[in-house]
Chain A
Amino acid sequence: EVQLVESGGGLGQPGRSLRLSCAASGFTLEDYAMHWVRQAPGKGLEWVSGVSWNSDRIDYADSVKGRFTISRDNAKNSLYLQMNSLRTEDTALYYCAKDRHKWNYKGYFDSWGQGTLVTVSS
């Protein structure tokens, strides 16, 4: 069974940094593209960043470009999101999500974690 468990959320001050982690199990992480999707309180879903299975393709939403960095460590079965220069509008529940098809980078989010809450406030 696929399991994705996010951690690292919490209270961050504007301008400071947080690092999110996603521990993957039940599948071979290195075969799949992975993504971060966020949801502000009471709002809809926003794709934040994605990394292809072999890391040769990395993309970001304009809202986080230049501030967030996605990375993966397949040996540790983990996905990360380094969040720098935090803004109050980054406050959201952050989900990691797995792409549906092996070796593709297609934006089908077929498995999701339960999310980790990031609150940016002074």
Chain B
Amino acid sequence: DIQMTQSPSSLSASVGDRVTITCQASQDISNYLNWYQQKPGKAPKLLIYDASNLDTGVPSRFSGSGSGTDFTFTISSLQPEDIATYYCQHHNNLPPWTFGQGTKVEIK
């Protein structure tokens, strides 16, 4: 099975800061990588699919990049409503489709 490793596990940043999260796959997954946002007490929400495509209605301050084994998720200007845990997830080929362990983003 493909393992997904996210870092950091948590971060604290100020409003307006640029925030970056990385995700590494244990093998080449091309661009088959999604990013989700989960706010406290809520279901996850798909933000980015296929490494860099914003899902419908997702603000443009969110972006993703990468291919192969190394991926990056960026919030260009952190907003108070972005407080959440963010997960990467591969959907390469066949299941199991595994998630990273999550990155908790807090406001400093």
Contact = CB atoms under 8 A, between A and B. Distances in A.
Interface of A: 37, 44-47, 50, 59-62, 95, 100, 106-110, 112-115
Interface residues of B, number: 24
Contact of A114 (B43, B55, B95): B43
B90 to A, nearest CB: 8
B52 interface: no
Contacts of B90: 107
Q: Is the interface of B mostly helix, strand, loop or mixed?
A: loop
21 contacts: A37-B44, A45-B36, A45-B38, A45-B89, A45-B99, A47-B97, A50-B97, A59-B95, A61-B96, A62-B96, A95-B43, A95-B44, A107-B89, A107-B91, A108-B34, A108-B49, A109-B36, A110-B46, A110-B49, A110-B55, A112-B44
A45 B100 CA distance: 8
Contact of B94 (A46, A59, A108, A110): A59
A35 B96 CA distance: 11
Contacts of B87: 44-45
